[in-house]
Structure 1
Amino acid sequence: MSNISYDSAGSLVYSPGDETTIVYNPGDIAWVLASTALVWIMVPGVGYFYSGLMNKKNALSMIFLSVATIAVVSFQWWFWGFSLTFSETAGPFIGDLKHFALRGVLETPSVGSRRIPSIVFCVYQLMFAAITPMLAVGGFAERAHLGPILVFVFLWSTLVYDPIACWTWNPKGWSFMHGSYDFAGGTPVHISSGSAALAISIYLGKRRGYGTEALAYKPHNTSYVILGTVFLWFGWFGFNGGSALSANLRAANACIVTNLASSVGGLTWMAWDYRIERKWSAVGFCSGAIAGLVAITPGSGFVGSPASVLFGFMAGTVCNFATQIKFFAAYDDSLDVFASHAIGGIVGNLLTAIFAQAKVAAYDGFTVIPGGWLDRHWIQLAWHVADSVAGLSYSFVVTTMILWAMHYIPGLRLRASAPIEAIGIDHSEMGEFAYDYISAGMSDSDTVRSLPHSTATALGLDGEAEAHYMKERTSTARRSYMT
């Protein structure tokens, strides 16, 4: 590390070995690292949000998947994900293995900004790579095996997220070179994950009892929904504000428009729900707030605060009505990931092309763009339509290919059987529960034998599911009792 030093002002100085020097501002580094922590908390936020919307017998599995996804993607990003996405020698669609296992990723300038070193940019972008498959995992809710899901996350990150992020954010990517504006992930994060969730929902088929009273339940824990929204809203300041990759006025503006769009989106969605049910829905508000966050993501570094109000209103309106698509198209997207993220991302991309302004982008002091329709740059909308369609189509097709490839590999089939689905993923796949509704105080074999039957009856299982449940519980209880 002899090529790293500090100047008289306390800034970090990197000397590549020739006569040049590169200065990194500690404030910029600190802001991006703080934003990294903010985005990290969003991933379990997604888990809690999804968990609260689901049935209580599947509540723990989604929270578990949120932290497990961070672990899987962290390894994938170190192994080859960062290199495939942000190598300097990338092609128009995908990078190479120049930085395999983070080789050469430390003090050199990042491809995202020469104001921060590559290692800082790497760990920040890791958080985006982690939250994106977690959003898509919502498509597996209540009817998929957990182990194969983690394999899917690794494959999907490599084959779907990395290419789309490369063509969007890498200076060598085709979308980037053609001038598309995507500040923080409208296409790589939201459109790709929402499209993947649609593909997953179609592949898995409908949940057991879909369309009957058996699945006509409300979110089992609205407090979890609000808690997840709090984590997401809080972390989104780092998601969008941190994407400036510097502590400057552009980052501050991104935070302002992010908060405003989310607020308007939440109020709009809640108002639409009130029109129908005459109830002030907390779930509706949270859904709209997240839709507003999704929509403002691509434009947060390009639009001013007046435009962000429209972003929030349009997201809260369009995404609300988009939740009805699944009933017409007859697929079971139980958490409305496609409606909130894919549709919300498209809304954000199109509005960004219209309302992007050169003067807003220049708040950081060095970004120069021709702007969008407000600046009479009419072709911008065409590029955003092309980028949105490419991201949606690529993610859907490749996700479907991954799902069916895993379908024919022993041990990797994702769809859970009807008995497992009836019992719940928490019990069948984890043997643990979000709530301790089964007493652990067992003192004799009679209690051990009677407990599964009483619990199965309380869960209202049919004959096939109850038989499977009793077999599993008896085996587990016998091992516990003997121990």
Structure 2
Amino acid sequence: MEYNGRDTTGGDSRIENLNVYYNAGDVAYVTISSCMVLIMIPGLGFLYSGLARRKSALSMIWICLMGGAIATFTWYFWAYSLAFSPSATNPFIGNLRNIGLKDVLGAPSPGSPLVPELLFSMYQGMFCAVTVAIIMGSVAERGRMLPALIFAFIWATIVYAPIAYWTWNANGWAFKWGVLDYAGGGPVEIGSGVGGLAYSWVLGRRNERLLLNFRPHNVSLVTLGTILLWFGWLGFNGASSFGANLRAIYACWNSNLTAIFGAISWCCVDYRLEHKWSTVAVCSGFISGLVAATPTSGFIPLWASVALGIFSGIVCNFTTKLKFVFKIDDSLDIFAEHGVAGMIGLIWNAFFAVDYVIGLDGINMGATGGWLNHNWAAIYKQIVFVLACSGYTFVLTSLICYILDHIPGLHLRASEDAEMRGMDEDQIGEFAYDYVEVRRDYLAWAIPMTVDGVTVEHYKNQPTLIPPNTYESSTSATTAAEKDAR
């Protein structure tokens, strides 16, 4: 039935059936997709955990889960209202009419008449939670947990909610202007990528002495996290059509194509360095492709996704080197894989978005795409949107971090001693590998020597006994291979 518009909540559920306005298949699809997007949060935790060193592995899982939890609360409390309140008339941010999800029930959603607002608010809340969880990777191996969670609440309020309003609210300036952003290239990807860069900048570089020969400690966890992210991303992009329709299927196809070609191109670029096939490279390419597909998957034809995957994989791979130019320790390459890939996707829409893909949802028929539909103005609109999102996010995120860092008890960074011992020991009190013998003090490694027939090793200027025959005497002749083994 067509909604009669009698009540802002959809009607009185005590005497009316509010479900009659919606297709059960659409509602079920978006509900399941919301659950799929939720899986992306632990996926990020596993990904970040595997990329970090083992002494901070558990802290990365913890901060992703808790960051997502804080963002979800913020979304329920007031961020949803700030992003999607229909009564706001200014072009920049909503009002508090729907604070605490007040009056959010069975009326058609602000995003689509296909689903009720209650479901729309939950689905969009998952986007906010994932975005904050992505940024939480910036604290890797040197950031304190409590300030990061307070940051998450503030950031979701004054950075994510306004950009979401610009992009998807009918009164937002970017929406009215005709900016093409399907599933969050601006609020989600630029927000997380540029926000993560700003957080890393304020937090500072990790202790260089601790980074010698550092590589991801568990590539299996990296792979597991990537698989969970890929699965959740099909709900993230697919259900942004807000119905079980052809556009949803098309978005899933586009997402998969961009992901696989992103992985192939990234892996081939890395192969040139050591002539070996890297699993981490494959995972990084998958993620960069999926990020690039986020703003594009409901707009562009399938063949354009193939080109997008190749282009984003190559460009994002080389962009990981920018952190050495800017001297910002973006330890998990959040800016390269999320920020840059999101920008690429948004610009891609200006050239390749087409009306026949947009109209596959049965709602947006008659919409205009990019250059393929002779919409020549799309290019500067997309560029302005990218610049606006990037500038707003970087400035506001840096300001939030600086203010928090100067509040007593909320300094963002852990001490040098805590960094040496690891965030698991300093901040969490639990370890990812409690049943594996781990040498936690990474500065204790020294060349042993023999004293009176007993091998000793100096630990902080204190001799520590080591069982005989564990090492050869430092004065004995050793081969190069034996030295490497030590």
Q: TM-score, normalised by structure 1?
A: 0.87
Per-residue deviation, residues 388-412 of structure 1 (Å, max 9, x unmatched): 1000000000000000110111111
Q: Per the alignment, in what secondary structure is the counterpart of residue 265 of structure 1?
A: helix
* Structure 1 residues 466 and 394: alpha-carbon distance in aligned structure 2, compared to 1, 3 A threshold: farther
1:361 counterpart (358, 361, 371): 358
Cα offset for 1:114? 1.3
Paired residues for 1:68-467 under 5 Å:
68-90=66-88, 91-209=90-208, 214-367=211-364, 368-437=366-435, 460=444
Q: Per the alignment, in what secondary structure is the counterpart of residue 224 of structure 1?
A: helix
Runs of at least 4 residues off by over 6 Å: none
Q: Per the alignment, in what secondary structure is the counterpart of residue 74 of structure 2?
A: helix
2:481 is matched with: none
The alignment covers a number of residue pairs equal to 435
CA–CA separation in structure 2 for the residues paired with 1:253 and 1:68: 33
Cα offset for 1:370? 1.6
CA–CA separation in structure 2 for the residues paired with 1:3 and 1:216: 68
* Structure 1 residues 438 and 360: alpha-carbon distance in aligned structure 2, compared to 1, 3 A threshold: closer
Decide whether the 8 Å contact of 2:64 with 2:134 is kept in 1.
Answer: no
Decide whether the 8 Å contact of 1:51 with 1:62 is kept in 2.
Answer: yes
CA–CA separation in structure 2 for the residues paired with 1:456 and 1:32: 45
Decide whether the 8 Å contact of 1:85 with 1:162 is kept in 2.
Answer: yes
Cα offset for 1:331? 1.4
- Code of the aligned partner of 1:36: S
CA–CA separation in structure 2 for the residues paired with 1:184 and 1:311: 16
Cα offset for 1:133? 1.2
CA–CA separation in structure 2 for the residues paired with 1:148 and 1:330: 23
Determine whether 1:4 maps to 2:16: yes
CA–CA separation in structure 2 for the residues paired with 1:317 and 1:24: 43
CA–CA separation in structure 2 for the residues paired with 1:47 and 1:394: 27
Cα offset for 1:57? 0.4
Cα offset for 1:415? 1.0
Per-residue deviation, residues 174-219 of structure 1 (Å, max 9, x unmatched): 000001111101010011111111111111111011xx57343111
Decide whether the 8 Å contact of 2:33 with 2:239 is kept in 1.
Answer: yes
Decide whether the 8 Å contact of 2:67 with 2:136 is kept in 1.
Answer: no
Q: Per the alignment, in what secondary structure is the counterpart of residue 4 of structure 1?
A: coil
CA–CA separation in structure 1 for the residues paired with 2:433 and 2:66: 20
* Structure 1 residues 361 and 417: alpha-carbon distance in aligned structure 2, compared to 1, 3 A threshold: same
* Structure 1 residues 332 and 360: alpha-carbon distance in aligned structure 2, compared to 1, 3 A threshold: same
Per-residue deviation, residues 89-117 of structure 1 (Å, max 9, x unmatched): 22211110000111000111110111111
Q: Per the alignment, in what secondary structure is the counterpart of residue 17 of structure 2?
A: strand
* Structure 1 residues 54 and 458: alpha-carbon distance in aligned structure 2, compared to 1, 3 A threshold: closer
Cα offset for 1:455? 5.2
1:32 counterpart (30, 33, 45): 30
Percent identity, please.
Answer: 46
- Code of the aligned partner of 1:298: P
Q: Per the alignment, in what secondary structure is the counterpart of residue 207 of structure 1?
A: coil
CA–CA separation in structure 2 for the residues paired with 1:3 and 1:417: 60
Per-residue deviation, residues 231-279 of structure 1 (Å, max 9, x unmatched): 0100111000010001100000000000111010001100100011101
* Structure 1 residues 147 and 171: alpha-carbon distance in aligned structure 2, compared to 1, 3 A threshold: same
CA–CA separation in structure 2 for the residues paired with 1:322 and 1:438: 36
Long gaps (5+) in structure 1? 7-11, 14-22, 440-453, 468-483
1:445 is matched with: none
Decide whether the 8 Å contact of 2:85 with 2:94 is kept in 1.
Answer: yes
1:479 is matched with: none
Cα offset for 1:466? 7.4
Long gaps (5+) in structure 2? 1-12, 447-458, 462-486
Per-residue deviation, residues 310-344 of structure 1 (Å, max 9, x unmatched): 11111101100001111111111111111111110
Larger helix proportion, structure 1 or 2? 1
Cα offset for 1:381? 1.0
